[in-house]
Chains A and B, each alone.
Chain A
Amino acid sequence: MKKVITGDHAVAIGAKLCRVEVVPAYPITPQTLIIEHIADFINDGELDAKFLTMESEHSVMSAAAAASAAGARVFTATSSQGLAFMHEMLYATAPFRLPVVMPDASRTLAGPPGIWCEYNDSMGARDSGWLQLYVEDNQEALDMVIQSFRIAEDKRVLLPVMPCLDGFVLTHTVEPVDVPEQEKVDSFLPSYKPDIILDPARPAMIGAFMPAEYIMELRRQTAGAVESSKEVIQEINGKFAKEFGRDYGGLIDTYRMDDADIALITMGTVTSTSREVVDELRQKGEKAGLIKLRFFRPFPSEELRKAVAQVSALGVFDRSVSYHGGGQVYNEVRSALFGMTIPVINHLAGLGGRDVTKEQIMKMFELTRKAAKGEKVNQINWHGTRGETV
């Protein structure tokens, strides 16, 4: 059924279709609509779940972890300051292998305070063990909530998943979304049945104190789970494509890359605009291509190396900065391509929610083209920033 809805609404419907059982929540712009819709579903009898109004995001994630340890399918959503506030508990959910799904409505993290799209909130959770993905439109936002639960609860993974959707650009934008039928989602996503849960009838220790003799093995185990999530993500992408007819490519997606000479790596909604820019460049005879980085954790190093094997230069888009040398994605990509001789330059744009225009994306390709020709270009380029020379 087609519905014209916001990204937040799509995400909430996704959670409802997954028959989530516990939703601890705390509102924050631009995530608020998600939990409001969930509250409506529960109130209207469309969703049989326990809604917990918590006093802070720290408590939200504490409750989420506890409910997950008790065997429930747990959903929540957050953004920016809220994500930062639950930072401590993010680190408890992943190593204890609790498959919570929590969309993040990407929003700039203060200071300075702001409410618009930037990835510096989720980038801070990079090393928490959560899987992280970035969606391009409202359809993908809904579909990835469903896929996220399937990935998270896979016995080879058992990790929490954070689908990130651009604040306002998706959360508050309406567009047509094909809402899957409940029966199809039910057959795609079996109910969650963990081996060990907190149950007085069968006592268990989850999240206990560990001396140094054990923690390193647990870290290694968690690292292994993140690594093995790669094949699971690909596998589930394939199954989803088969059953629902929408193939997102798995860890990365590519657009007109077959014979591309220069390419741009993007995340989130900038990918969408970039598709049109690539088309325009192609019409002008420019062999431009696009790589959509869907998953940031796990980081698809191998897939990227394959995808860029034929290009003569690569631009990397970042919507956040590491205050040291460009954006986080840029640094990860360079690390992934270590040993390859392709020039890689960084394009920072859209920080603090500034609109990323087609002209800026054109400029990104233009600079990447210069790098391909061997001309001198800055490694790190700030687009649309007053005072910059690009």
Chain B
Amino acid sequence: MYEVRFHGRGGQGAVMAAQTLAEAAVNEGNYAVAFPFFGAERRGAPVLAFTRIDSKKIFSKTQVYNPDCVVVLDDSLLDTIDVVSGLKPEGIAVINSKEKPEDIDLGKTINTATVDAVSIALEILKAPITNTAILGAFAKATGIIKIESLEESIKRKFGEKLGEKTGEKNALAARTAYEKTVMGKSRGIKKLEARKQWLPTYQEMPVGGSLIESKTDAGLIGPGSFIENKVSGWATYRPLRDREKCVMCLLCWFYCPEGTIHRISNKGDLMTNYDYCKGCGVCANECPVDAIKMVRARA
């Protein structure tokens, strides 16, 4: 049995990638399953997806804890999650990154493949949706699936949902990534610390799960605790405002869905809190004088 764990963020298509891989594997005559695990659905939140491939029916319904391969759709996850946790020693990490494998620190030296899936996706799909590109890299890095099988599945699956043209573009993204994938070994310098989580026993849990503002070893809990949860890490773009062009109409302030734009009192100016800006581009879209440009966040 071959087991894959996908790490992505809501909206990047990790679930679709896992399913597409399963379908391609089945079309090659195997048995395969794919399933997601995510919290409340929201764009940008870390999500997991899993694919299992075998020559016979798979009965296991648990999550994958010792994958043969981990696929990382968003390299900003490397800072917060031990993506290679439980990876088999001979396993491989496939990472969406501009860097070469040798420049990526996974906390241990392991087989690593990288590809700049964002740039490929932006060029071919005109959107930073990296799931099909990363599948191409997976095919190249693991040899578990033929790129032709993937192209076929992508065309069918994406074509069915988004139209024939989009299906073909996504297949092209996979093929391009397949050709551009760089193989090597990761660095193992940084110390991986398990993410601290507040995990009370049932006796420790507040009655009824009701919480007031509280501090724990794992950080804040209860109302207001989201202040610690910086959500800009995965932004592909960020807004840059030209103060000369800006007429202070405040439409951007009004439309920002995250409330990241603040008025600086008494100065007649605005500031954007980039800790919480997800780079959605609504402000740039609404600006009547084109004072806001969206630029790549992680150049």
Residues in A with CB closer than 8 Å to B213 are 203
Q: Are A206 and B208 in contact (CB under 8 A)?
A: yes
| Segment touching A, from B88-96, B102-110, B196-204 | B196-204
Q: Are B212 and A204 in contact (CB under 8 A)?
A: yes
Determine if A98 is an interface residue (Cβ-Cβ < 8 Å). Answer: yes
Residues B190-226 near A (CB distance < 8 A):
197, 199-203, 205-213, 222-224
* CB within 8 Å: A-B pair count: 65
A205 in complex: contacting residue of B40, B201, B223, CB < 8 Å: B223
Determine if B268 is an interface residue (Cβ-Cβ < 8 Å). Answer: no
Determine if B143 is an interface residue (Cβ-Cβ < 8 Å). Answer: no
Interface digits, A177-198 against B, CB 8 Å rule (1 contact, 0 not)?
Answer: 0000000000000000001100
Q: How far is the CB of A68 from chain B (nearest CB, A)?
A: 11
Residue of B nearest to A98 (CB): B208
Q: Are A202 and B212 in contact (CB under 8 A)?
A: yes
| Segment touching B, from A101-109, A131-139, A214-222, A291-299 | A214-222
Residues in A with CB closer than 8 Å to B202 are 216-218, 220-221, 224
Q: Are A204 and B222 in contact (CB under 8 A)?
A: yes
Q: Are B211 and A204 in contact (CB under 8 A)?
A: yes
Residue of A nearest to B223 (CB): A203
Q: Are B212 and A95 in contact (CB under 8 A)?
A: no
- A contacts with B, residue count (CB < 8 A): 25
Residues in A with CB closer than 8 Å to B212 are 196, 202-205
Q: Are B39 and A211 in contact (CB under 8 A)?
A: yes
Residues B214-240 near A (CB distance < 8 A):
222-224
Residues in B with CB closer than 8 Å to A211 are 39-40
Residues in A with CB closer than 8 Å to B200 are 214, 217
Determine if A158 is an interface residue (Cβ-Cβ < 8 Å). Answer: yes
Q: How far is the CB of B138 from chain A (nearest CB, A)?
A: 28
Q: Are A221 and B224 in contact (CB under 8 A)?
A: no
B210 in complex: contacting residue of A96, A209, A214, A217, CB < 8 Å: A96
Q: Are A208 and B208 in contact (CB under 8 A)?
A: no
Q: Are A218 and B209 in contact (CB under 8 A)?
A: yes
The B contact surface, by secondary structure, is: loop
Q: How far is the CB of A195 from chain B (nearest CB, A)?
A: 7
Q: Are B197 and A196 in contact (CB under 8 A)?
A: no
Q: A204-B223, A213-B197 are in contact. Are A218 and B211 (CB under 8 A)?
A: no
B207 in complex: contacting residue of A158, A210, A213, A216, CB < 8 Å: A158
Q: A204-B222, A209-B40 are in contact. Are A196 and B210 (CB under 8 A)?
A: yes
Q: A202-B212, A203-B223, A204-B212 are in contact. Are A195 and B207 (CB under 8 A)?
A: yes
Residue of B nearest to A221 (CB): B202
A101 and B207 alpha carbons, distance in the complex (Å): 19
Residues in B with CB closer than 8 Å to A95 are 208-209
Q: A213-B197, A220-B202 are in contact. Are A96 and B209 (CB under 8 A)?
A: yes
Residue of B nearest to A196 (CB): B210
A217 in complex: contacting residue of B197, B201, B211, B223, CB < 8 Å: B201
Q: How far is the CB of B285 from chain A (nearest CB, A)?
A: 30
Residues A67-120 near B (CB distance < 8 A):
95-98
B209 in complex: contacting residue of A158, A202, A214, CB < 8 Å: A214
A158 and B206 alpha carbons, distance in the complex (Å): 12
Residues B250-297 near A (CB distance < 8 A):
none
Residues in B with CB closer than 8 Å to A213 are 197, 199
Residues B59-113 near A (CB distance < 8 A):
none
A204 and B205 alpha carbons, distance in the complex (Å): 15
Residues in B with CB closer than 8 Å to A221 are 202-203, 205, 207-208
A346 and B297 alpha carbons, distance in the complex (Å): 72
Q: How far is the CB of B107 from chain A (nearest CB, A)?
A: 24
Q: A203-B223, A224-B202 are in contact. Are A208 and B197 (CB under 8 A)?
A: no
Q: How far is the CB of B211 from chain A (nearest CB, A)?
A: 5
A97 and B212 alpha carbons, distance in the complex (Å): 15
A202 and B213 alpha carbons, distance in the complex (Å): 8
A125 and B125 alpha carbons, distance in the complex (Å): 52
Q: Are A97 and B207 in contact (CB under 8 A)?
A: yes
Residues in B with CB closer than 8 Å to A204 are 210-212, 222-223
Q: How far is the CB of A213 from chain B (nearest CB, A)?
A: 6
Residues in A with CB closer than 8 Å to B206 are 196
Residue of B nearest to A211 (CB): B39
A206 and B205 alpha carbons, distance in the complex (Å): 13
Q: Are B199 and A158 in contact (CB under 8 A)?
A: no
Most buried by B among A204, A216, A218, A221: A221
A218 in complex: contacting residue of B39, B205, B222, CB < 8 Å: B205
Residues in A with CB closer than 8 Å to B222 are 203-205
A203 and B203 alpha carbons, distance in the complex (Å): 23
Residues in A with CB closer than 8 Å to B223 are 203-205
Q: How far is the CB of A159 from chain B (nearest CB, A)?
A: 10
Q: How far is the CB of A52 from chain B (nearest CB, A)?
A: 23
A210 and B202 alpha carbons, distance in the complex (Å): 14
Q: Are B208 and A96 in contact (CB under 8 A)?
A: yes
9 residue pairs, one from A and one from B, having the closest CB atoms? A97-B208, A203-B223, A220-B202, A217-B202, A96-B208, A196-B210, A206-B210, A205-B211, A221-B202
Known pairs A205-B211, A214-B209 / 20 extra A-B pairs, C-beta < 8 Å: A96-B210, A98-B208, A158-B208, A202-B212, A203-B212, A203-B213, A204-B211, A204-B223, A205-B223, A206-B210, A213-B197, A213-B199, A214-B200, A214-B205, A217-B201, A217-B202, A218-B202, A218-B205, A220-B202, A221-B202
Query: Measuring CB to CB, which residues of chain B are less than 8 angstroms from any residue of chain A?
Result: 39-40, 197, 199-203, 205-213, 222-224
